[in-house]
């Protein structure tokens, strides 16, 4: 599926009227990067990893599937299919198990979009942060990395999780 086929899919088949501006930005960035590549200039970075926030029934998972098709059509992913998982699919009950499960899932999702639904649950319990740490250590948003990770969830719990994670990463000045 090429770039020109992605935009009609977004507006007609899936009735996602709120997305065409973002889709057009992806397509335009792909065109600019192509021109830069032809001129042997460095490419603009395109982070494929995203947060999709919204209430139940707002189409987050449906949008993720379209996003995968778009990334495949633009050549950013080799497969473009979507693997939908929940935090329990990443978390193990033994020390070291979470890192192994998460790394194995990331390997399975090469070329695909990994969707972690209700991702806010990753900050609950002992091992959720280890799953996030593993994702961060293995997925760098580097060109050609061939994976996109989407964290889906409700706005308030996702912001709470992000604040907890950011607090652990940033030193607060006195």
* Contact in structure between 113 and 84 (CB atoms under 8 Å): no
* Predicted pLDDT of residue 1: 41
Read off φ and ψ for residue 155, nearest 5 degrees.
-50, -60
Residue 3 structure tokens: 């770039």
* Predicted pLDDT of residue 173: 53
In a 10 Å sphere around its CB, with 0-12 CB exposed, 13-18 middle and 19+ buried, how is residue 79 labelled? middle
In a 10 Å sphere around its CB, with 0-12 CB exposed, 13-18 middle and 19+ buried, how is residue 118 labelled? middle
What is the assigned CATH class of domain 48-169? alpha beta
* Contact in structure between 85 and 122 (CB atoms under 8 Å): no
| CA–CA separation, 122 and 118 (whole Å) | 8
Q: What is the DSSP-derived secondary structure letter of residue 112?
A: S
Give me the tens of pLDDT residue by residue for the chain, a chain 174 residues long.
Answer: 444 444 444 444 444 455 557 777 888 888 898 899 999 999 888 889 999 999 989 889 998 998 999 899 888 899 999 999 999 999 998 889 999 999 999 999 999 999 999 999 998 888 888 999 999 999 987 777 899 999 999 999 999 988 887 776 554 454
Segments in 39-89 forming alpha helices (H): 60-73
Q: 149's torsion region: left (phi>0), alpha (psi -120 to 50) or beta? A: beta
* Predicted pLDDT of residue 2: 43
């Amino acid at each position: 599926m090429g770039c020109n086929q992605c935009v009609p899919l977004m507006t007609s088949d899936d009735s996602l009227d709120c997305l065409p501006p973002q889709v057009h930005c992806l397509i335009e960035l792909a065109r600019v990067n192509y021109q830069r590549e032809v001129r042997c200039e460095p490419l603009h970075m395109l982070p494929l990893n995203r947060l999709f926030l919204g209430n139940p029934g707002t189409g987050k998972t449906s949008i993720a599937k379209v996003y995968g098709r778009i990334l495949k059509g633009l050549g950013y992913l080799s497969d473009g299919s979507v693997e939908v998982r929940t935090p329990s699919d990443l978390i193990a009950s033994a020390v070291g198990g979470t890192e192994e499960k998460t790394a194995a899932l990331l390997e399975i999702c090469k070329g695909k979009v990994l969707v972690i639904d209700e991702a806010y649950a990753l900050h609950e319990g002992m091992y959720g942060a280890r799953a996030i740490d593993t994702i961060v250590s293995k997925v760098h948003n580097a060109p050609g990395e061939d994976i996109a990770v989407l964290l889906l969830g409700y706005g308030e719990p996702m912001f709470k999780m992000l604040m907890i994670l950011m607090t652990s990463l940033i030193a607060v000045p006195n």
